[in-house]
């Protein structure tokens, strides 16, 4: 969907990501008509950029990697109002210290009771991710990266219903590479499953890997000549129409707390094997 001046309502088509050695994951999406100028930044715009002089990390349009998708149905409960929006500010170690980051946790961290996020390198090791501040609709995090390293966004659905995740890198949507907006399509994950977003989507079969780079070599600077939003990753997620997602782990905890250690009332005997 376009960034602004949307004419058509959010529709039902979606896309499934066929991740290697993992259950099928979902990617929602559909097209909508839009008025002139709805695409945001123009590649022909005369934006003055100081990217060459800026220290720290950006994200480049990396090498092509296999990532196949197909379409399914998904309708958001609220088309433009996510359950949670998280902001991940990333930089190198020096930049992180200047921004007051201390390191953080190496693994998946909670976006809310319903979902987790993490960032892996090419060897599967998690980058340190530090929760910085609690916002009205989500949390702000700090991420310490390394120049030239590939990174993967890892998302996990901790709810009992399907959720749709919309992601952006440096202000660009990870699916179409254009200015990000909450009404654009995103990835849908089944209950209890996780998925990896490996890069900017080039087609239904391939992505361009996320790689930490200099600001001047970032995708947004190279494509649009605009590095104003370099250094930030956005994650938002939505519930599906007709569902009311609940935390799977808390639901299971309640069930176990209600378990009866002596539910029977029969006398004696010995244990029989299960019938199935």
Q: What is the mean pLDDT of each run of 10 residues along the chain (276 residues)?
A: 32 49 48 39 55 92 92 88 94 90 83 94 92 68 94 97 96 97 93 95 95 97 96 96 87 66 73 80
Q: Which residues pair with 106 in a beta bridge?
A: 128
| pLDDT confidence of residue 106 | 80
DSSP annotation of 29: -
| C-alpha to C-alpha distance for 186 and 274, rounded to whole angstroms | 44
Tokens linked to 21? 């050695």
Residues 24-49 pLDDT 10s? 445 665 433 333 334 455 444 445 56
- Secondary structure of 105-171 in HEC code, one letter for each residue: EECCEECCCCEEEEEEECCCCECEEEEEEECCCCEEEEEECCCCCEEEEEEEECECCCEEEEEEECC
pLDDT value, residue 16: 54
- Strands 139-144, 13-18: pairing is unpaired
pLDDT at position 252: 58
For position 196, what pLDDT does the model report? 94
pLDDT at position 139 is 80
pLDDT at site 47: 54
Asked if 69 contacts 243 with a C-beta cutoff of 8 angstroms, the reply is no
- So what's the pLDDT on residue 135? 56
* Other beta carbons less than 10 A from residue 79's beta carbon: 16
Q: Report the run of H or E that residue 95 belongs to, with start and end.
A: helix 93-98
Q: What is the pTM of this model?
A: 0.78
């Amino acid at each position: 969907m376009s960034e602004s001046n949307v004419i058509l309502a959010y529709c039902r088509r979606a896309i499934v990501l066929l991740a290697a050695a993992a259950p099928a994951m979902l990617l929602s999406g559909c097209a909508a008509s839009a008025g002139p100028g709805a695409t945001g930044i123009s590649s022909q715009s005369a934006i003055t950029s100081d990217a060459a002089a800026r220290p720290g990390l950006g994200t480049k349009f990396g090498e092509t990697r296999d990532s196949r998708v197909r379409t399914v149905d998904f309708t958001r409960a609220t088309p433009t109002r996510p359950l949670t929006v998280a902001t991940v500010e990333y930089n190198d170690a020096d930049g992180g210290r200047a921004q007051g980051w201390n390191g953080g946790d190496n693994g998946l961290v909670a976006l809310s009771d319903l979902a987790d996020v993490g960032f892996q390198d090419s060897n599967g090791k998690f980058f340190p991710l530090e929760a910085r501040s609690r916002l009205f609709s989500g949390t702000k995090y700090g991420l310490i990266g390394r120049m030239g390293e590939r990174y993967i966004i890892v998302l996990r659905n901790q709810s009992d219903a399907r959720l749709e995740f919309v992601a952006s890198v440096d202000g660009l949507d990870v699916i179409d590479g254009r200015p990000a907006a909450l009404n654009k399509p995103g990835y849908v994950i089944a209950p209890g499953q996780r998925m990896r977003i490996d890069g900017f989507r080039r087609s239904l079969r391939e992505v361009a890997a996320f790689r930490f780079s200099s600001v001047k070599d970032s995708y947004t600077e190279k494509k649009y000549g605009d590095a104003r939003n370099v250094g930030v990753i956005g994650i938002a997620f939505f519930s599906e129409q007709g569902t009311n997602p609940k935390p799977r782990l808390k639901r299971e905890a309640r069930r176990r707390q209600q378990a009866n250690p002596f539910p029977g009332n029969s006398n004696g005997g010995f244990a029989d094997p299960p019938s199935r």
